[in-house]
Structure 1
Amino acid sequence: MPLPVGRAAVLGGSLAGLLHAWVLAEAGWRVTVVERDRRPGKAEFAGGVPQARQAHLLMPAGLYAIERLLPGTTELLTGEGAQRFGLATDIRWLTPAGWLDSFSPRHTIVSFTRPLIDWALRHQVLLHPGVEARDGVEAVGLAVAGTRIAGIRCRERGTRDRTESVLPAEVVVDATGRTSRAPHWLTELGLGAPEESVVDGGVGYCTGLFRRAGADLAGGRAMYLQPRPGRNPRFGILVPVEGDRWMVTVGGMRGFTPPTDPDGFLSFARELSVPEFYEVVRGLEPVAPIHGFRPPPSRRRHYERLADLPEGLLVVGDAACTFNPIYGQGMSVAARSALVLRELLPAGARPARGPGAAGRTGVALPVDSRRIQRAVSREAGAAWQMASSEDLRYETTVGGRRNPLLKLQHAYMDRVLSAALSHRAAQGAFIDALSLTAPPSGLFTPAVLWQAALHGGSRGRRAESRSRSGR
C-alpha cells in the first residue's frame, strides 16, 4: 500500500465516480467521495440517478475495464443474480437490416438493475482504506490557488444551515453526471466554459419489471429490436435481471415516446417492427410500476480544448460526454476512462513537489492533468462519433452536421450491417465496434470491405418478418 501522496475529491458516488476514486486510492491518494444524495447500503433504488429504473447493460468494453480495475466484480454481480450471456449468440437481435444470425460467442455481456452495479462497486471501493465517503454533501463550487485546484466549496444538504466550507484537495474529479455544474463553476472563476457539441434525437422510453419464470426465451436469453430509420423509429429491449425478473424497455425517437400505463405500454410494444416482442411481453406478470424517462440531448463538453482548465481538475463520465442511452455506451466509456487514468497515473508515484511543480499547494499530479483530460476525451470520441452519426439518420434529430460524407458513411454501414447478418468477418467487426472493444477502423479491413461489397446489397437470409424462435 503506497503512502498517501495527496488529497483528492471525487464528486459523485455512482459508477464513474467510484471507479475513478478507486484508481486514485490505489495510486496512494487520500480520496473523499462527495455525494449529494444519501446512498443506500444495499442494492435498492435511490435518488440522484434519474435513469436508474431503466434497462442497463454492461457492454463488453466496460465489463473488461471493470474487471481489470476490480477483479471479481463480474462474479460478485452474478452471485447476486445478474445475468451473464454471450454477445451475440444469446440475443435475438433484429437489426435495421434483419435478424442477426450468430456464430460462436464473441464477447460476454452482463445485465442487471442499476442499483446492483452501484452497490457492487460501492461495496468494494469503500473498503479501501484510502477512500472516505461523505453522503448528503453538495458541491457548490471550486476552490483554486493560482492556476491550480485547491479544493471544493461544499455544504451539507437536508439542513437549514447553508454555511459553505472548503474541502481541501489537490485533485478534483467531477463525476456528477448530466447535471454537472463545472461549466458554471469555471465561468464563476472568470475562466472559459468548454465548447459543446450537441445532438438531440428526442429519444423517450419507459421500462417495467416483470416476473421471469421457467426457461429463457426460445432461441435466446434476451431480445433487442433496433429502431429502423425512415420506417419504424420504435425499439424494444427485453433482458433478464436479478431477482428472477425481466426488465422490458420500449421507446422511440422524437415523436414516438411510449406511455407508462400498462395498456399503453403494451399497445406501443405491438407497434414494434415484428410481433415476437409483443407476444412475449403480453404474457408477463408485472412486479413493479412502469417508469418513463426522456433524457436531455446528447452533449459532449470539450474540456480538453480549454487553455485555462485548472491543473488538477478532471471531468469524466456523463459530466464530460453523454450519449443517447439506447446505444448502451455510457457506463463502458466511464469505466474505460478510469482505466485511462490508471495507465497515466502510476500506482504509488509520488507527486512532484516544490514551487516549480506545484505552486502554492505543494502537490501536483505525476502527469499533467490536462493530458489526462485529453486522453479521457479521446476515449469517448469513437463512441460519440458512432452514437451521434446514428442519431443523424433521423430527420427529426436536432443538431449535428449532415453532409455528403455522413451520407456516404451511412450507406457503407448499411452494407456492412446487411453483410453482418450471416457473414462472420462483417458481423465480428460490427459487434466489436458496437461493444467498444475495437476501434471503428476495424469496419474497414479487407475482409469486411469484401463482404460489404459482395453481400451488402441483400437483406440476409432471414426476412425481418420471420421469427428465429424455431431455429
Structure 2
Amino acid sequence: MGGTTLTRRRHAVVVGGSLAGLLSARVLLDHFEEVTLLERDGFPGEPVSRPGVPQGRHLHVLWEHGRGLLDGLIPGLESDLLAGGAPDLRLPADFLWLTSGGWRRRFDTTRMLTFSRGLLDHAVRGRLFGEPRLAVRTGIEVTGLTGDEAVTGVRYTERGDAARAEELMAADLVVDATGRGSHAPAWLAELGRPLPRETRIDPLLGYASRYYAIPPGHDPGWKALYLQAGPPEAKRTGGLFPQEGGRWICSLSGAGGDYPPTDEEGYLEYARGLRDPVLYEAIKDAEPLTPVVSFRRTAGHRRHYDRMRSWPAGFAAIGDSVCAFNPIYGQGITVAAASALELDRMLREDRSTRWFQRRAKRAGAGAWLISTGEDRRYAETQGPRVLPHTRLINAYVSLAVRAANTDPDSCADMLDVLGLAKPPTSLFRPAALARIMANRSRPPEAAPLLPEPAAR
C-alpha cells in the first residue's frame, strides 16, 4: 500500500519556495540533519513580489488564528511584520464592510494583519535562511522523482541550460510545495502510481489590483473597505486595505467572467459599478503608485491524494499542490501554516506520508468548504452539479451572515469560521443556531460611519 514511515532522517528536499515550502523547510530543520530548498526562480533581497508567486501583487491578509500559527512556527515573525509597517486592524471595527446580506456593524471582535506578500515572504526568509543546515538553491527545475516503492530523491536540471544533463539529488523525504502548477501527478505516474482524482470548481473569477498613496490627512472614520459581491446577480467585490509604506492596495474582482479591466478608465468605471460607490469615491482622486495588474488563476482544485490506493514513502505534497481555493477569502496563509504543523506532527509521531496526505486534506477542508460553497452561488461556476443540500447550506449561511451583521456574538462566530479558528459546522451548534434564528428578521443596517462605542 505504500506510505510507510521514514527509516532515515539525514536529508530532506523541499521543492518550491512558496510560503508552504518555506514553512515546510522550517519544520524539517527540527527533524533532519540537512534540508535543501529547490526553487526555479530567484529570491529578491528586498520585500518585493517575485515571479514565482503569481498572486503576490494582490491583496493579502492574515486572520488572527493564522497569525498565531505562523508566530508559533517562526517566533518573532509577527514582530518583524509589525516593524515592517504591516497595519494591525481591529475586525470589523476598523472596516466599512458591505456583506452579501447588508452592512456589518463595527464590533471590536478580532484582529487582522494586512501586508504585501513581498513583506511576508521577506520576513519568513529573514528568519529562516540564516540556518546553516539549510541549503537554498535557485534556478533549479525539478523534472521528476527517483525511487520505486519509496521515493529516494529528485531529478533536476539547471533552469535555462537546455544542454545540461539531468542530475540526481538523494533525499530521505521530498516535499512538493510547487503550488497550483505542481507536476506531482505526472511524477507519480512515472513511478507507476495511478493518477489521483481531482475536483475542480471554477467561479470564473478574476482580480485586478493596484497600489494608491493614502491621501494626506485622509480620515473618513474607517481604515479598510470591503464591499462584497451579492450573488448570484451582483458579481463584483472590492477591497481597499492599508499596507506598509502608507499606501492602499485596491483589489477589484468579479465572478462569472465579469473580469475587471486593467486600463485606467476601465478600472475606475468598474469600481464605480460596485454595490456602493464609497470605494470609487476613495480612489478616484488618489495617486496611483503602480499600474493595474490582473490575475485569473482562481479556480479551486483538490487533488485526492489521500484516496490513492498506493502512496510512496518518502514523498509528501503540501499547500496548493494538494488543495487550492479561490484566494478571495484570504485563507491560504492559514492553511499553509496548519499543513506545516501536520508535517511536524507526522515526523514527531513517526507517522507515514500517507497519513500526512489525509491530514493535509483535513487542514484545508474548512477553507475548501467555505470557498466552494460561496463559488457555487454563481450560475456560471464550472464544476460538479450543485446538490440540493448545498443550496440548503447556502441559504442557512445567508441567514448567518445577516445575523453576524447586527449581533456581536454571531459576528464572532462567523469570523472564527472565516479565519479557520473553528470549523464551518460550528455555525450549526445549538447556541449559534439560536442566535442566527433570533436575528433572522432584523432589517439590514444602513452604512455605519463609526465603530461601536463599546469594544468587545
Which of the five TM-score ranges fits, normalised by the shorter chain? over 0.9
Contact 2:60–2:114, Cα closer than 8 Å, also in 1: yes
Structure 1 residue 399: Cα displacement: 0.5
Q: Secondary structure at the match of 1:394?
A: coil
Cα distance change, pair 12–470 in 1 and its aligned pair in 2 (3 A): closer
Letter aligned with residue 120 of structure 2 = I
* CA distance in structure 2 between the partners assigned to 1:275 and 1:397 by the alignment: 27
- Per the normalisation by structure 1, the TM-score is 0.91
Structure 1 residue 169: Cα displacement: 0.5
Is 1:126 matched up with 2:129? Answer: yes
Kindly report which structure 2 residues correspond to 1:316-465, keeping only aligned pairs within 5 A, or say none: 316-346=318-348, 366-460=350-444, 462-463=445-446
Kindly report which structure 2 residues correspond to 1:280-295, keeping only aligned pairs within 5 A, or say none: 280-295=282-297
Cα distance change, pair 18–389 in 1 and its aligned pair in 2 (3 A): same
Give 1:35's aligned residue.
39
Give 2:225's aligned residue.
223
Contact 2:142–2:156, Cα closer than 8 Å, also in 1: yes
1:405-451 per-residue CA deviation (whole Å, 9 max, x = no partner) reads: 11110111111111111112211111100011111122122222112
* CA distance in structure 2 between the partners assigned to 1:29 and 1:389 by the alignment: 43
Contact 1:426–1:447, Cα closer than 8 Å, also in 2: no
Contact 1:392–1:400, Cα closer than 8 Å, also in 2: no
Q: Secondary structure at the match of 2:426?
A: helix
Kindly report which structure 2 residues correspond to 1:64-463, keeping only aligned pairs within 5 A, or say none: 64-106=68-110, 108-144=111-147, 146-215=148-217, 217-346=219-348, 366-460=350-444, 462-463=445-446
Structure 1 residue 296: Cα displacement: 4.6
Q: Secondary structure at the match of 2:29?
A: helix
* CA distance in structure 1 between the partners assigned to 2:18 and 2:443 by the alignment: 42
Is 1:21 matched up with 2:64? Answer: no
Structure 1 residue 158: Cα displacement: 2.6
Q: Secondary structure at the match of 1:235?
A: strand
Contact 2:151–2:315, Cα closer than 8 Å, also in 1: yes
Structure 1 residue 45: Cα displacement: 2.5
Cα distance change, pair 94–459 in 1 and its aligned pair in 2 (3 A): same
Letter aligned with residue 176 of structure 1 = T
Letter aligned with residue 378 of structure 2 = Y
* CA distance in structure 1 between the partners assigned to 2:53 and 2:89 by the alignment: 26
Cα distance change, pair 122–25 in 1 and its aligned pair in 2 (3 A): same
Unaligned runs of 5+ in 1: 350-365
1:259-291 per-residue CA deviation (whole Å, 9 max, x = no partner) reads: 111111100000000111111111210011110
Contact 2:65–2:421, Cα closer than 8 Å, also in 1: yes
* CA distance in structure 1 between the partners assigned to 2:171 and 2:242 by the alignment: 42
Structure 1 residue 217: Cα displacement: 4.9
Structure 1 residue 194: Cα displacement: 1.2
Structure 1 residue 154: Cα displacement: 0.4
* CA distance in structure 1 between the partners assigned to 2:405 and 2:451 by the alignment: 17
* CA distance in structure 2 between the partners assigned to 1:102 and 1:467 by the alignment: 7
Structure 1 residue 102: Cα displacement: 2.7
Structure 1 residue 216: Cα displacement: 5.8
* CA distance in structure 2 between the partners assigned to 1:217 and 1:310 by the alignment: 57
1:360-419 per-residue CA deviation (whole Å, 9 max, x = no partner) reads: xxxxxx321111111111111111011111100111111034122111101111111111
1:126-157 per-residue CA deviation (whole Å, 9 max, x = no partner) reads: 1122211000011000011x311100000101
Contact 2:12–2:32, Cα closer than 8 Å, also in 1: no
Letter aligned with residue 152 of structure 2 = A
Contact 1:382–1:440, Cα closer than 8 Å, also in 2: yes
Structure 1 residue 215: Cα displacement: 4.9
* CA distance in structure 1 between the partners assigned to 2:51 and 2:399 by the alignment: 43
Q: Secondary structure at the match of 1:87?
A: strand
Cα distance change, pair 13–408 in 1 and its aligned pair in 2 (3 A): same
Structure 1 residue 161: Cα displacement: 3.0
Structure 1 residue 174: Cα displacement: 0.4
* CA distance in structure 2 between the partners assigned to 1:49 and 1:59 by the alignment: 20
Letter aligned with residue 230 of structure 2 = R
Q: How many pairs are equivalent?
A: 445
Structure 1 residue 39: Cα displacement: 1.2
Q: Secondary structure at the match of 1:407?
A: helix
Letter aligned with residue 245 of structure 1 = R
Unaligned runs of 5+ in 2: 1-7
* CA distance in structure 2 between the partners assigned to 1:375 and 1:458 by the alignment: 40
> Percent of aligned positions with the same letter in both sequences?
38
* CA distance in structure 2 between the partners assigned to 1:140 and 1:47 by the alignment: 20
Structure 1 residue 467: Cα displacement: 5.2
Once the two structures are overlaid, the 10-residue window that deviates more, 418-427 or 234-243, is 418-427
Q: Secondary structure at the match of 1:339?
A: helix
* CA distance in structure 2 between the partners assigned to 1:75 and 1:88 by the alignment: 22
Cα distance change, pair 58–470 in 1 and its aligned pair in 2 (3 A): closer
* CA distance in structure 2 between the partners assigned to 1:98 and 1:196 by the alignment: 35
Contact 1:25–1:131, Cα closer than 8 Å, also in 2: yes
- Find 1:468's aligned residue among 449, 452, 456: 449
Letter aligned with residue 458 of structure 1 = R
Contact 2:81–2:123, Cα closer than 8 Å, also in 1: yes
Letter aligned with residue 301 of structure 2 = R
- Per the normalisation by structure 2, the TM-score is 0.94
* CA distance in structure 2 between the partners assigned to 1:470 and 1:84 by the alignment: 16
Contact 2:93–2:451, Cα closer than 8 Å, also in 1: no
Cα distance change, pair 252–71 in 1 and its aligned pair in 2 (3 A): same
Give 1:355's aligned residue.
none
